[in-house]
Amino acid sequence: MSHIRAFIFDLDGVITDTAEYHYLAWKRLADEEGLPFSRQDNDALRGVSRRESLLRLLKGRTLPEADMQAWMERKNAYYLDYLQGIGPDDVLHGVRDFLARCRAYNLRLGIGSASKNARLVVERLGLIEAFDVIGDGYSVVHSKPAPDLFIWVAGALRVPVQEAVVFEDAPAGVDAALAAGCWCVGLGTAQVQHAHLCYPSLAEVNLPELLSAVQAQLSRAG
């Protein structure tokens, strides 16, 4: 019989809050180029790739490809500067404990992040040993909301997608998880309410309750 065998975690907004650093880096680029960019604009960039983020920041304005590349590199250099300052204290509240409890259930654990810097971030957080697989912005061509990344991570964990639960904080990530055929837990804002289940954060997830709720639905599905 099918049962839940893996958890796949988004990184930014689920394990740590790098969204603020993405904001500061994009804001610096936008200010230098005279483009308007607010915290609200930044919210729409959660979970989407660097290139898609730049396209959204440009709000319909077009740039030659060489400039697109140069702007993305510049933003990333600013972002990498901010990452110098992060460490184990930047793991979100309750996450370490949650990951340890997952191990007690023999779950395989993976990261599914749109970020090309995901491995570096996980290393700086001191969590590299906590995950069996890290899927990042280099793993697949089509990033969230395409299903590819979560299918890739589930495959690397050797678990069928329907036996994996994805934890996501962004609408693009929930769309990707559902399109992949995974179970999805939305964390945080109302924007993720189309997930199968929602909690304010990982710290609030009751693990036995979550597993039995998903298991009941899996058994009903046959």
| Contact set with Mg ion (CB under 5 A) | 10, 12-13, 47, 169-170
Give which of Mg ion, ligand B16, none residue 114 binds (C-beta under 5 to 8 Å, depending on kind).
Answer: ligand B16
CB 195 to ligand B16: min, Å = 14
CB-based contacts of 178: which residues, under 8 Å, 6+ apart?
A: 184, 194, 195
**Using CA atoms, how far apart are residues 129 and 127, in angstroms rounded to an integer?**
5
Catalytic status, residue 12 = yes
Which CB atom, from 6 or from 192, has the smaller least distance to ligand B16? 192
CB-based contacts of 116: which residues, under 8 Å, 6+ apart?
A: 50, 76, 136, 137, 138
Of positions 57, 107, 114, 134, contacts ligand B16 by CB under 6 A: 114
Which CB atom, from 136 or from 169, has the smaller least distance to Mg ion? 169
Which CB atom, from 11 or from 182, has the smaller least distance to ligand B16? 11
DSSP three-state, residue 62: coil
186 and 156 Cβ atoms separated by less than 8 Å: no
DSSP code for 138: T
CB 101 to ligand B16: min, Å = 22
Q: Does residue 116 belong to the site contacting ligand B16 (CB under 6 A)? A: yes
18 and 25 Cβ atoms separated by less than 8 Å: no
CB-based contacts of 62: which residues, under 8 Å, 6+ apart?
A: none
CB 215 to ligand B16: min, Å = 27
How many CB atoms lie under 10 A from the CB of residue 209? 10
51 and 72 Cβ atoms separated by less than 8 Å: yes
DSSP code for 73: H
Q: At what angle do helices 50-58 and 65-83 cross, to 10 degrees?
A: 110
How many CB atoms lie under 10 A from the CB of residue 14? 25
Q: Does residue 41 belong to the site contacting ligand B16 (CB under 6 A)? A: no
CB 7 to Mg ion: min, Å = 15
CB 161 to ligand B16: min, Å = 18
Which CB atom, from 69 or from 212, has the smaller least distance to ligand B16? 69
Q: Does residue 16 belong to the site contacting ligand B16 (CB under 6 A)? A: no
Of residues 58-77, those binding ligand B16 (CB under 6 A): 76
Q: How many residues bind ligand B16 (CB under 6 A)?
A: 20
200 and 188 Cβ atoms separated by less than 8 Å: yes
Which CB atom, from 46 or from 196, has the smaller least distance to ligand B16? 46
Footprint of ligand B16 (CB under 6 A)? 10-13, 22, 45-50, 53, 76, 113-117, 137, 170
Which amino acids are annotated catalytic? 10, 12
